[in-house]
Chain A
Amino acid sequence: MTSPTPPLVAALLGPAGPEIGCDECFERLDGYVELEIAGADAEASTPGMRAHLDGCPACSEEHQSLHAFVLTSNEEGDNA
Chain B
Amino acid sequence: MSDLPGIRAAQQAAPAAPSATELVPPSPRQDDDARWLTPLASSGPAHDRAVRELHLLLLRASTFEVRRRSAALGLSASSELDDIANQAADDALLAIVSRLDRFERRSKFTTWAYKFAIHSAGVAVRRHAWRNRDLSPDSSESLEHLTRLSDDPGEAAETRELLARIATAITRLTAHQRDVLLALAVDGVPIDVLADRLSSNRNALYKTLHDARARLRGLLDDEETTG
Contact = CB atoms under 8 A, between A and B. Distances in A.
Given A22-B202, A61-B69, A66-B111, A31 B156 contact: no
A62 B210 contact: no
Contact of B112 (A30, A58, A62, A72): A30
A31 to B, nearest CB: 3
Contacts of B64: 65, 68-69, 72
Interface residues of B, number: 48
Contact of A22 (B106, B181, B206): B206
A78 B35 CA distance: 13
Given A58-B122, A69-B61, A9 B166 contact: yes
A71 to B, nearest CB: 11
Interface string A29-60: 11101100000000000000000000111100
Contacts of A29: 115
A40 to B, nearest CB: 12
Interface string B208-226: 0110011011001000000
A79 B108 contact: yes
A76 to B, nearest CB: 10
A58 B127 CA distance: 12
A21 B108 contact: no
B57 interface: yes
Interface in B142-194: 149, 155-156, 158-159, 162-163, 166, 181, 184-186, 190-192
Contact of B217 (A16, A55, A79): A16
A12 B213 contact: yes
A14 B107 contact: no
A12 B111 contact: no
